[in-house]
Amino acid sequence: MSARDEILARLRTALADSPPPVRVPRGYRRVGDHPDLVETLVDRLEDYRAVVHRGTGALHRLLGEIGRLAVPTDTPAHWLDGYAGELHRDAPPLSPAALDGLDAVLTGCAVAVADTGTIILDAGPTQGRRALTLVPDRHICVVRTDQVVGLLPEALVRLDPRAPLTWISGPSATSDIELNRVEGVHGPRRLEVVLVESGV
């Protein structure tokens, strides 16, 4: 008998009288009960040190501060109304070095979870590819009010699990063993969310 066979035989013997698996209850909440989902989302985003703006007017003022901006190829034209800076559409795909040299990226999102303050991108319309939102130091994300849900289970039913999902809960940050927070390690150091009405 080889050493491998002996180890496996001992494992089988040790597990022979193990109790049956415990049934795990799955009675968790699937629908949120927050009276105002948008305000809950704003509260969580601000707690994560994201900056929240409201309306397309605020978006246009914000973009007026940006010199070099990257956008997905299908960015709605009215989001960029009056933008006079250097616009870089991601077609052909911008290189990591080119993305790193820009001031900001503007995208939409797939869904936002009020309870956790999480914005989820799935590379769908207005979102672009993953690198577009991870390399520039500043991410401006437009969230429509009809994209805000209460809880994670509500968000999951809107997403394709095969899509490349990016989950964003505030600016990229990490802490060392002494809990010193460092921002911008794994993605944008600044996250700005612009809330707009449904259909905008």
CATH code of 119's domain: 3.40.50.10420
Q: What are phi and psi of 140, to 5 degrees?
A: -105, 120
Cβ count within 10 A of residue 129: 15
| Average pLDDT value over all residues in the chain | 91
Domain-embedded: residue 10 = no
The runs of H, that is alpha helices, within 16-118 are 37-47, 55-63, 96-100
CB 163, CB 129: distance < 8 Å: no
pLDDT score of 180: 75
Domain-embedded: residue 120 = yes
Provide the domain limits for residue 169.
49-196
Paired strand residues for 181: 175
Instruction: Indicate whether 183 pLDDT > 90.
Output: no
Q: What is the mean pLDDT of residues 88-111?
A: 96
Domain-embedded: residue 156 = yes
Domain count across the chain:
1
Domain-embedded: residue 58 = yes
Domain-embedded: residue 129 = yes
Q: What is the mean pLDDT of residues 169-174?
A: 77
What is the sign, positive or negative, of the torsion defined by CA atoms of 172, 106, 73, 136?
negative
Q: Which strands make up the sheet holding 68-71, listed edge to edge?
A: 51-54, 190-196, 138-144, 104-107, 68-71, 86-89
Structure tokens of 159?
């997403």
- Tens-digit pLDDT profile for residues 32-48: 788 899 999 999 999 98
Least confident of 35-39, 56-60, 178-182: 178-182
Domain-embedded: residue 73 = yes
Whose tokens are 């690198």? That residue is: 131
Domain-embedded: residue 55 = yes
- As a whole number of angstroms, the distance between CA 64 and CA 41 comes to 25
pLDDT score of 30: 81
- As a whole number of angstroms, the distance between CA 103 and CA 99 comes to 9
Instruction: Indicate whether 122 pLDDT > 90.
Output: yes
Domain-embedded: residue 33 = no
Single pTM value for the model:
0.83
